[in-house]
């Protein structure tokens, strides 16, 4: 059984938005903007992301002799947009995705809007920029329940690191938690009596409580009892999942770990942390969960965001279509004709979910 061990130390990140000595230069003003974001309680992940995106723009401008915000005009921004469209990556020659282009352009509007509000500029040069239309993609790969089990069972449980990794994979799969939410999880966010976790300031600065599930809780307790004491270093900041050197995970490190186990399983699917999130939502939907409950689990503010998962269940739609549409079958099934094994399994699954729902309602009633 494999155990994920980083083969090299994480390289130090490149300096972003270095001070050029010009207080009105793009890097200096971008640093001020990021400080303003932190003062106004934007998340650190958002600030870091915008710092990187503004760095890309500032470097592009620098190459073209544009160093100050006052030198940026709408034609300059549109030129940047065209450059992004025609850009090809050095590694594989592939273009930037529409999402990447949108992300790099979208940051310019709030940045220059802030510069206008702070009286550094008279007008926002990006206000009239036409940003590419958003394309909503279906999740490319979704694990089946069997495939998810294969991935989760990959870590070597004879190694303490493997136990930690198993607990992380169980958490990703069971709770559909986001990567950065898992990273920020603290011991005092766990309620092992009720079997829940409290996700504080998730995406959109929204809190939510989600169930762990019995199996996930069992592996989490095993990790907390047997492994975390070996990893923790003082002072202990109460972070739940720690790296082998006792530090909080970097998002990329967590992604690499999850991707390692997906590949090690031999499952012909691509993905990492978010693969489990997509899988959990889709399997729950196929299992009969109301989309509003899935919305609550995922922490989506808008139901339309959750509804993307309703379009990946074509297999379920085909089954319902075949079972209910009078013209769907080549021949009608006789009333005395036995159902197929697949149909019987589906019915058993529905009964199982109904029984679990009834048990949960009974438990809730008992707690009330």
Cα–Cα dist 81/317, whole Å: 40
309 an active-site residue? yes
Q: Please tell me the number of Cα atoms within 13 Å of 209 on its side-chain side.
A: 8
Q: Which one from 4, 173, 249, 309 is the annotated catalytic residue? A: 309
CB 165 within 8 A of CB 157: no
Q: How far apart are CA 121 and CA 68, in angstroms?
A: 11
Asked if 325 is an active-site residue, the reply is: no
Q: Is 277 a catalytic residue?
A: yes
274 is catalytic: yes
Give every CB contact of residue 52 below 8 A, 6+ residues apart in sequence: 16
Strand pairing report for 208-211 and 190-191:
unpaired
DSSP H/E element including 190:
strand 190-191
Digit-by-digit pLDDT tens for the chain (368 residues) are 677 776 554 444 454 676 677 888 999 999 999 999 999 888 777 888 899 999 999 999 999 999 999 999 999 999 999 999 999 988 888 898 888 898 899 999 999 999 999 999 999 999 999 888 776 655 567 888 899 999 999 999 999 999 999 999 999 998 888 888 999 999 999 989 888 888 886 666 678 888 888 899 999 999 999 999 999 998 999 999 999 989 899 888 899 999 999 999 999 888 888 888 888 888 887 787 777 777 778 877 665 555 555 554 545 555 554 565 455 555 544 544 555 544 444 344 344 334 433 433 333 333 33
Exactly one of 203, 248, 259, 263 is catalytic; name it.
Answer: 203
pLDDT given for residue 228 in this prediction: 94
DSSP character at residue 331: S
- For residues 56 and 101, is the Cβ–Cβ distance under 8 A? no
CATH assignment of 26-117, among 2.50.20, 1.10.150, 3.90.320, 1.10.132: 1.10.150
Q: What is the pLDDT of residue 142?
A: 82
Q: Is 203 a catalytic residue?
A: yes
pLDDT value for 220? 94
Q: Which of 167, 193, 195 is nearest to 182 (CA)?
A: 167
pTM listed for this prediction: 0.65
The CATH superfamily of 145-310 is Intergrase catalytic core (1.10.443.10)
What CA–CA distance (Å, rounded) separates 279 from 214? 18
Listed in sequence order, the residues at least 6 apart from 319 whose beta carbon sits closer than 8 Å to its beta carbon are 343, 346
Which one, of 137, 122, 132, lies nearest residue 80 by Cα?
132
Catalytic residue among 52, 263, 274, 316: 274
- 197's enclosing H/E stretch is strand 196-199
Q: Catalytic pick from 50, 55, 164, 178?
A: 178
Q: In this predicted structure, what is the pLDDT of residue 261? A: 94
Q: Are 264 and 2 in contact (CB under 8 A)?
A: yes
* Residue in 179, 228, 278, 300 annotated catalytic: 300
């Amino acid at each position: 059984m494999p155990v994920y061990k980083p083969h090299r130390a994480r390289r130090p990140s490149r300096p972003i938005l270095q001070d050029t000595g010009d207080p009105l230069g793009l890097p200096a003003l971008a640093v001020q903007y990021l400080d303003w974001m932190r003062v106004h309680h934007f998340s650190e992940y958002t600030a870091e992301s915008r710092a990187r995106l503004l760095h890309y723009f500032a470097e592009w401008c620098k190459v073209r002799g544009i160093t100050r915000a006052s030198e940026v005009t709408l034609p300059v921004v549109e030129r940047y947009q065209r450059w992004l469209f025609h850009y090809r990556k050095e590694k594989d020659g592939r273009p930037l995705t529409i999402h990447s282009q949108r992300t790099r352009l979208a940051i310019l509007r709030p940045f220059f809007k802030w510069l206008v509000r702070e009286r550094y500029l008279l007008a926002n040069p990006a206000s009239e920029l036409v940003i590419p239309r958003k394309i909503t993609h279906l999740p490319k790969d979704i694990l089946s329940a069997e495939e998810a089990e294969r991935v989760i069972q990959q870590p070597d449980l004879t190694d303490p690191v493997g136990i930690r990794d198993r607990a992380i994979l169980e958490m990703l799969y069971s709770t559909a938690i986001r990567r950065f939410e898992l990273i920020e999880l603290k011991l005092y966010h766990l309620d092992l009596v009720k079997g829940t976790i409290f996700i504080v300031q998730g995406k959109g600065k929204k809190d939510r409580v989600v169930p762990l599930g019995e199996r996930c809780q069992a592996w989490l307790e095993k990790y907390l009892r047997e492994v975390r004491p070996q990893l923790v270093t003082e002072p202990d900041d109460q972070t739940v999942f720690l790296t082998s050197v006792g530090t909080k995970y970097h998002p990329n490190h967590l992604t690499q770990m999850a991707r390692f186990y997906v590949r090690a399983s031999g499952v012909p699917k691509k993905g990492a942390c978010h693969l489990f999130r997509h899988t959990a939502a889709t399997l729950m939907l196929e299992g009969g969960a109301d989309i509003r409950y899935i919305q609550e689990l995922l922490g989506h503010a808008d139901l339309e965001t959750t509804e993307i998962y309703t379009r990946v269940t074509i297999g379920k739609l085909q089954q319902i279509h075949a079972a209910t549409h009078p013209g769907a079958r080549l021949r009608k099934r006789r009333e005395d004709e036995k159902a197929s094994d697949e149909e019987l399994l589906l019915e058993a699954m529905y009964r199982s979910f109904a029984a679990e729902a009834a048990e949960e309602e009974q438990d809730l009633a008992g707690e009330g």
